[in-house]
Amino acid sequence: MTPIYLLSCNPSTEKQTEEITENEESKYLSKPLVSHVFTADPSAHVFNGKIYIYPSHDVESEIDQDDSGAHFNMRDYHVFSMESIDAEPVDHGVILDVDDVPWAKRQMWAPDAAEKDGKYYFYFPAKDYDDIFRIGVAVADSPTGPFKAEDEPIKGSFSMDPAVFQDGEEYYMYWGGIWGGQLQKWRTGEYVSTGDRPYDDEPEDDEPAIAPMIAKMSDDMLQFAETPRQVLILDKDGEPIKAGDHERRFFEAAWVHKHDGKYYFSYSTGDTHNIAYAIGDNPYGPFTYQGVILQPVEGWTNHHSIVKVDDKWYIFYHDTEISGETHLRNIKMAEMTHNPDGTIQTINPMK
């Protein structure tokens, strides 16, 4: 019986090394991909035939947990690569630190990356010195960096969770998240905050839910090429999903993949903890709600990416298996299947 050791991610958390024996039945569908640092919000891509994962880097901090996610107080990012889908991820170290971004003050949340003409673009949200989330970009000649951040955030950017989708020659950024992600404070087009509770500034339950955002990227990938638009998520009767429909409404963690000519917009439903999806005919939508891809994971947040590797689809996600703490997460991966009719088989991360 060979022991498997799950090592503490962060010595400061004083977690004990845990010994699990192989004859213990795991309740989880998948194993943590990384265990020497805490990782979350994995954005996976295949660049030049190799898998790269751009996650958040969770850390312990002295900040108390609250509904705005202040305890997610991350300050830098690592990048990981995998030679194949079964390989151990390799940690390429820190690719960007908050101190290297002139406009950013704190909370380096879920990032993404894109490749264009041999250059790599790393997109990341952070709060600026007015405590407003903006989205920045850093550029490198290699997928593993070193990345150099632009001096200013992307003009007209706000909220968080950027995800960049390539459709032929065009690239689109999707973004946004409510509550701590502040998207509800931008309903007028300006930042308006009428209260400190994260759900202040939300629409009434019977009004359309707050929509995620999309903009085409400029040729140099550093700015939006157009005024950002809202992404509509409709029910099967063509009606916008309502704000009170917490099982189905958009909360955060936008991602888009394309399969058989259709565009799949997937996202977290936040306080109901699902990764849901909706299908559309073009990158702008509207997208029609279909169902759940990934049921709730252990931990409050659920955040994913979807990538095709060697003709199979995979969902990268996270949970809190190693730490048991909501803000100290570990990334995972599972195979994902499209049915012949285009719907996606629901995955239970707890088996």
Binding residues vs ligand FUB (CB under 6 A): 40-41, 56, 69, 72, 109-110, 160-161, 177, 252-253, 301, 303
Does the annotation mark 252 as catalytic?
Answer: yes
What is the closest distance, in whole angstroms, from the C-beta atom of residue 209 to ligand FUB in the complex?
Answer: 17
CB 74 within 8 A of CB 108: yes
Residue 272 phi, psi (nearest 5):
-105, -5
Query: Dihedral, CA atoms, 293, 247, 249, 277, nearest 10 degrees?
Result: 10
**Residue of 60, 252, 319, 321 marked active site:** 252
Output the DSSP codes for 170-199: EEEEEE--SGGG-GGGGTTSS-----SSTT
Report CA-CA distances (Å) from 157 to 123, 148, 165, 177.
Answer: 11, 19, 17, 13
DSSP state of 338: B
Query: What gap in Å lies between CA 103 and CA 242, rounded to an integer?
Result: 35
Of 93, 157, 172, 150, the C-alpha closest to 127 is 157
Residue 135 or 307: the one with the smaller Cβ distance to ligand FUB is 135
Does the annotation mark 41 as catalytic?
Answer: yes
Query: What gap in Å lies between CA 28 and CA 351, rounded to an integer?
Result: 6
Q: Which token pair is 211?
A: 């929509």
What is the closest distance, in whole angstroms, from the C-beta atom of residue 25 to ligand FUB in the complex?
Answer: 28
What is the closest distance, in whole angstroms, from the C-beta atom of residue 6 to ligand FUB in the complex?
Answer: 21
Coil vs helix vs strand at 11:
helix
Residue 145 or 177: the one with the smaller Cβ distance to ligand FUB is 177
Of 271, 334, 337, 283, the C-alpha closest to 304 is 334
What is the closest distance, in whole angstroms, from the C-beta atom of residue 59 to ligand FUB in the complex?
Answer: 11
Query: What gap in Å lies between CA 165 and CA 168, rounded to an integer?
Result: 10
Beta bridge partners of 44: 53
Enzyme catalytic residues: 41, 252
